[in-house]
Amino acid sequence: MASATAARNPAGGWSLRLVPDPYASVERFIDLVGRCHELGFTDVVVNHPRPSGVFQGDPAMFEQAVRQTLAVFAEDGQ
């Protein structure tokens, strides 16, 4: 699985980062979003898991990871 995140490059462009299996665990997803936040990202985009292919994943794990990540960042006021 892969997820793409983009950020402004100080040189004036955009950078793209592919992250394999971003929601393999809740902790991994929280860490990914936290790192993006620390870098100044305002948005993080991940693909909803598919039954097969590059974005293959468990929809229940995805939903749990997103739900818990939102709760963590809501507690921090971020």
Q: Could you state, in order of their start, the residue ranges of all structural domains in the chain? A: 2-75
Please give the distance of CA 44 from its chain centroid, rounded to a whole number: 5
Q: Tens of pLDDT along 35-57?
A: 888 888 888 888 888 888 888 88
pTM: 0.66
A 10 A CB-CB count for 46 gives: 21
pLDDT digits (tens, 9 = 90+) for 60-70: 999 999 999 99
Q: Which residues lie closer than 8 Å to 30 by C-beta, 6 or more apart?
A: 65, 68, 69, 72
The number of beta carbons lying within 10 Å of the beta carbon of residue 44 is 19
Cα radius of gyration rounded to whole Å, the chain = 13
Torsions phi, psi of 14, nearest 5?
-120, 150
